[in-house]
A and B are shown apart, each in its own frame.
Chain A
Amino acid sequence: MSSSNTNVHLGTGAPGTVHVSHDHHELGFLRKYIFSTDHKVIGIQFMITGLIMFLIGGLMAMAIRWQLAWPWTEMPIVGKLLFPATGKVISPEFYTMLFTMHGTIMIFFVIIPLLTGAFGNFLIPLMIGAPDMAFPKLNMFGYWAMVPAICLAITSFFVEGGGASSGWTAYPPLSTIASAAPGSGQGQTLWLMALTWSGLSSMMGAVNYVTTIVKMRAPGLTLMRMPLTIWSLLIAALLQLFALPVLTAASILQLMDRVIDTGFFTPTNLIVNQYNAEAAGAAAGGQPLLWQHLFWFYSHPAVYIMVLPAMGLASDILSVHARKPIFGYKPMVYSMSAIAGLGFIVWGHHMFASGMNPAMGMTFMVSTIMIALPSAVKVFNWLGTLWGSRIQLTAAMLNALGFVAMFIIGGLSGIWMAATPVDIYIHDTYIIVAHFHYVVFGGSVFAIFAGIYHWFPKMFGRMMNETLGKIHFVGSFIFTNGVFYLMHQLGLAGLMRRTADPYDYEAFARLQPINEIISYCAFGLFLWQGFFIFNFFHSMFWGKRAGRNPWKATSLEWEAPSPPGHGNFDHQLEVFRGPYEYASPEVEEDYLPQARNLNA
């Protein structure tokens, strides 16, 4: 199974069934750090890759903010380099590519790989007391499938017509008919292939996570003793398993529409930009709405793939740094399952204005309204966890608290969108942009920061600098709200998204100064990440050495050395209790590890 002589017996039966033999030979650099089958190395590979893509996606966001604050203005310094043909200004064509690729990169190459790829890989075996993943080679392929995906996505900018420009949602016919948009030439084909490769990566990961969690838990670690991080990763993996095939199939259909002239999404009598695909021999008779259904059948669950693991990480970090058991463990598990279950029947709420049968709109409205409930229950339980606790305001904790504060905003604004009549007004306006950035940036990204500060000692054996971490949090929190909060009001004024220059409209001309403020905050937010990048790489080599359990936490990963060697654990593990025994009266310290036998 694994390349070294690591022997793993699957099963959760009697104590001692997890047996690791440490007679492996030293691996060369290439096998150890590049083509590694070790889940920890793969997790760190996903993390570094995701952070680099985060930088690229962030740069695109900066260009978008430049255009929205000062449309058609020469970009200083980099303008000459990037846009020599258009006189140092962003062209409207390039603007459509920018927001398309910003969304694509942030979703498929940053948030999903960071949460499921990096944290999923690194934490699952460690937190369940397993020596590695169930399928280490598949795991390695899962990472390496990201490489063609990223190459294809980046290359697409340099082909004729440029990168995909029909939004990350790629609605046909804009995306399928080459004459509809400059990026709908080769760029869109490469985009679809990139998406399929990244889906393949997620799929291999998901199969691995589910198998590992179900089959390889340490003795005594029952399902209801698993940390919420593991629950959230299990549920997210199940969402990927069931929803991803639909997107993959849809992408292949769109690819066929483009490459071999099928007409799954092309209606008859379509003349786009004076080009009639049918007259040129392509098939037609298709239905653009079909793509929207198939796309959102995956991409709405994808939203939960992007937020459930963040909820799991935040729950664990809140409990550890508040020195108090998680409030309502079972309701937390049930509400995550409810979010995942309902998540499959709410996709139509992206299509209220699309021309879908309004009776279906009403059905999707009810399921969407009800999905607010489990999210609310989770917020109340986090607050219940904090009540009567002993909060330690570490960088990890601050980011987890920031996650809760901003997830509340993202969750509440969603209720307007669920209400169909109100959604008709706010659909495709900036309040939507505010909403999902509060969930995915204020929520997921802050949970990712919290997770990195919290588990960095386990990953690299060294602590991150706390002072720099706190400076990083304070600035990021202020700027994040500076960027995204006022977008609510812009949206209520009717300002539409995906628009290079809205100020020609009489109604929107007066909103330009607000967009300037937002852009200054965005530039500040971007530059402020320097504190994080410096801290991350500096601490990797020169940080204070961390012991096994620097946070005095209870879950199993802290039983292993920091960083854990090949095979993870150097002693037999048995689990005696749940993962949140903080402040337990049974022992003198304020934490009681899962693996401590009190009767021994």
Chain B
Amino acid sequence: MRFLATFLFLALLVFGVWSFQAAESLGMWLPPHVSSFGPDIDGLFYLILWMVTFFFVLTEAVLIYCVWRFSKKDPSKAQFSHGNHKLELLWTGVPALMLLVIAFAQMGTWADMRFESRFPEGEPIAIAWASQFDWRFQYPGADGKLGTMDDFEVAHDFVVPVGEDVKFILRSRDVIHSFSVPQFRLKQDAMPGMAIPVWFRVEPENKRGESNVGDYELICMELCGWGHYKMAGMVRVLPRAEYDAWVLDQQARFLSNGIEE
């Protein structure tokens, strides 16, 4: 049993570290980020990953060593010790400092993401409406104002310009939904009865210099009923000129057809 038990706990440690290390090549890792939140969030993620790995390896290794070393048949008595004050101070103090560092390191990022005082200036470009089980986006008409008669609404696709701060209002018509785009590192619940402002900026290029223009899956991340699993949308990120052309085209369609889409 001594060999088997040691092997089991050792296997957990090896598998635990290996599977995180191999996850990226197996396609089970964070998708590359494209938004302005990406570097900060991923940086914090990796900082915690290193810290967690350190403590995981340390504690599991001590556990494995103890199981191996101290389960040997030994007629003598164990150490008679009720504790060690200095050790307690050490292993309370060091983790406490590390945790405080993590707590303070993230405050700025959080404030940038969510505090309305740090939100970009200007009017929201759209209202995102969530309802069972689809997404609709209400854009201002030619007057540039939301909530007037000439607003137009599109289903499924949220079209936004690349490289600019995009602010929009998130609302729900029925139950709670959640607006989530993994590549943007963005998630916000749509809470019925509340109009929640949200912002993000898709950077023009990623780390490798490739353009971030393209389509990103929009996922509902809060249970919203039986059809929750299929409540998908798409965020289409366009260059500014194409975005302007798209808006003009939609406005013209709305005016010529009356209520469209």
The 10 closest A-B pairs by CB, nearest first: A267-B193, A358-B114, A388-B79, A494-B182, A489-B28, A386-B66, A328-B83, A324-B78, A391-B71, A583-B77
| Residues of chain B lying within 8 A (CB to CB) of residue A330 | 83
Bound together, the chains give a CA A289 to CA B192 distance in angstroms of: 9
CB 8 Å contact bits of A363-389 with B (1 = contact, 0 = none): 001100110110011011101101111
A323 at the A/B interface (Cβ < 8 Å)?
A: yes
Give 9 CB contacts A-B under 8 Å.
Answer: A92-B229, A180-B174, A326-B82, A372-B95, A379-B59, A380-B59, A408-B55, A428-B222, A496-B221
Bound together, the chains give a CA A379 to CA B194 distance in angstroms of: 43
B246 at the A/B interface (Cβ < 8 Å)?
A: no
A264 at the A/B interface (Cβ < 8 Å)?
A: no
Q: Is the CB of A373 within 8 A of B96?
A: yes
| Residues of chain B lying within 8 A (CB to CB) of residue A326 | 82
Starting from the known contacts A408-B55, A500-B228, 19 additional A-B residue pairs (CB-CB under 8 Å) come to: A92-B229, A171-B223, A376-B55, A380-B59, A392-B71, A401-B5, A401-B63, A408-B63, A415-B52, A421-B185, A425-B187, A489-B19, A492-B23, A493-B31, A502-B229, A511-B28, A514-B28, A583-B79, A583-B80
Q: Which of A325, A366, A391, A429 has the most CB of B within 10 A?
A: A391
Q: Of B9-17, B134-142, B148-156, B160-168, which stretch is located at the interface?
A: B9-17
Residues facing A in B1-60 (CB within 8 A) are: 1-2, 4-5, 8-9, 12, 15-16, 19-20, 23, 26-31, 37, 40-41, 44-45, 48, 51-52, 55-56, 59-60
| Residues of chain B lying within 8 A (CB to CB) of residue A493 | 27-31
| Residues of chain B lying within 8 A (CB to CB) of residue A328 | 82-84, 88
Bound together, the chains give a CA A501 to CA B188 distance in angstroms of: 22
Contact among B88, B185, B217, B227 with A331 in the assembled complex (CB-CB below 8 Å): B88
A27 at the A/B interface (Cβ < 8 Å)?
A: no
Q: Is the CB of A580 within 8 A of B82?
A: yes
B173 at the A/B interface (Cβ < 8 Å)?
A: yes
Q: Is the CB of A391 within 8 A of B67?
A: yes
Bound together, the chains give a CA A389 to CA B187 distance in angstroms of: 48
B176 at the A/B interface (Cβ < 8 Å)?
A: yes
Contact among B55, B56, B79, B106 with A365 in the assembled complex (CB-CB below 8 Å): B106
Q: Is the CB of B223 within 8 A of A96?
A: yes
Q: Is the CB of A359 within 8 A of B83?
A: no
| Residues of chain A lying within 8 A (CB to CB) of residue B4 | 474
- Contact A485-B15, Cβ < 8 Å, known A325-B80, A393-B1: yes
Q: Of A269-277, A448-456, A524-532, A541-549, which stretch is located at the interface?
A: A269-277
Q: Is the CB of A171 within 8 A of B219?
A: no
| Residues of chain B lying within 8 A (CB to CB) of residue A437 | none
| Residues of chain B lying within 8 A (CB to CB) of residue A267 | 192-194
- Contact A353-B185, Cβ < 8 Å, known A171-B223, A492-B29, A492-B30: no
Q: Is the CB of B19 within 8 A of A355?
A: no
Q: Is the CB of B67 within 8 A of A273?
A: no
A504 at the A/B interface (Cβ < 8 Å)?
A: yes
Bound together, the chains give a CA A322 to CA B80 distance in angstroms of: 12
| Residues of chain B lying within 8 A (CB to CB) of residue A415 | 48, 51-52, 99, 102
| Residues of chain B lying within 8 A (CB to CB) of residue A324 | 78-81
Q: Is the CB of B8 within 8 A of A361?
A: no
Give the B-binding residues of A (Cβ under 8 A). Answer: 91-93, 95-96, 165-167, 171, 173-174, 177, 180-182, 267-273, 286-289, 322-331, 353-355, 358-359, 361-362, 365-366, 369-370, 372-373, 376-377, 379-381, 383-384, 386-393, 398, 401, 404-405, 408-409, 412-413, 415-416, 419-422, 424-425, 427-429, 470, 474, 477-478, 481, 485-486, 488-490, 492-494, 496, 498-502, 504-507, 510-511, 514, 580, 582-585, 590
Bound together, the chains give a CA A485 to CA B102 distance in angstroms of: 24
Q: Is the CB of B41 within 8 A of A422?
A: yes
| Residues of chain A lying within 8 A (CB to CB) of residue B84 | 327-328, 384
| Residues of chain A lying within 8 A (CB to CB) of residue B28 | 486, 489-490, 492-493, 511, 514
Q: Is the CB of B194 within 8 A of A355?
A: yes
| Residues of chain A lying within 8 A (CB to CB) of residue B226 | 91-93, 95-96, 165, 181-182
B147 at the A/B interface (Cβ < 8 Å)?
A: no
| Residues of chain B lying within 8 A (CB to CB) of residue A492 | 23, 28-30
Give the A-binding residues of B (Cβ under 8 A). Answer: 1-2, 4-5, 8-9, 12, 15-16, 19-20, 23, 26-31, 37, 40-41, 44-45, 48, 51-52, 55-56, 59-60, 62-63, 66-67, 70-71, 74, 76-84, 87-88, 91-92, 95-96, 99-100, 102-103, 106-107, 109-111, 113-115, 132, 173-176, 178, 180, 182, 185-189, 191-194, 196, 217, 219, 221-230, 232
| Residues of chain A lying within 8 A (CB to CB) of residue B88 | 328, 331, 377, 381
Q: Is the CB of A494 within 8 A of B45?
A: no
* Least CB distance, A430 to chain B, in whole angstroms: 10
Bound together, the chains give a CA A178 to CA B188 distance in angstroms of: 25
Closest to B52 in A: A412
Closest to A495 in B: B28
Bound together, the chains give a CA A405 to CA B67 distance in angstroms of: 11
Q: Is the CB of A167 within 8 A of B110?
A: no
Bound together, the chains give a CA A369 to CA B51 distance in angstroms of: 13
| Residues of chain A lying within 8 A (CB to CB) of residue B30 | 425, 492-494
Q: Which of A327, A381, A419 has the most CB of B within 10 A?
A: A419
- Contact A428-B178, Cβ < 8 Å, known A372-B99, A390-B77, A492-B23: yes
- Contact A419-B106, Cβ < 8 Å, known A93-B226, A181-B225, A489-B28: yes
| Residues of chain A lying within 8 A (CB to CB) of residue B228 | 96, 498-500
Closest to A584 in B: B80
| Residues of chain A lying within 8 A (CB to CB) of residue B193 | 267-270, 286-288
Contact among B5, B52, B110, B221 with A393 in the assembled complex (CB-CB below 8 Å): B5
Q: Is the CB of A272 within 8 A of B52?
A: no
| Residues of chain B lying within 8 A (CB to CB) of residue A412 | 52, 55-56
* Least CB distance, A185 to chain B, in whole angstroms: 13
Q: Is the CB of A173 within 8 A of B71?
A: no
Bound together, the chains give a CA A470 to CA B4 distance in angstroms of: 10
| Residues of chain A lying within 8 A (CB to CB) of residue B2 | 393
| Residues of chain A lying within 8 A (CB to CB) of residue B110 | 358, 361-362, 365, 420-421
* Least CB distance, A434 to chain B, in whole angstroms: 11
| Residues of chain A lying within 8 A (CB to CB) of residue B217 | 505-507
Q: Is the CB of B102 within 8 A of A419?
A: yes
| Residues of chain B lying within 8 A (CB to CB) of residue A288 | 176, 191-193
Bound together, the chains give a CA A379 to CA B63 distance in angstroms of: 10
* Least CB distance, B237 to chain A, in whole angstroms: 16
Closest to A371 in B: B99
* Least CB distance, A101 to chain B, in whole angstroms: 14
Bound together, the chains give a CA A474 to CA B11 distance in angstroms of: 12
Q: Is the CB of A174 within 8 A of B223?
A: yes
Bound together, the chains give a CA A370 to CA B173 distance in angstroms of: 38
Closest to A591 in B: B77
| Residues of chain B lying within 8 A (CB to CB) of residue A499 | 228-229
Q: Is the CB of B174 within 8 A of A271?
A: yes
Bound together, the chains give a CA A353 to CA B48 distance in angstroms of: 20
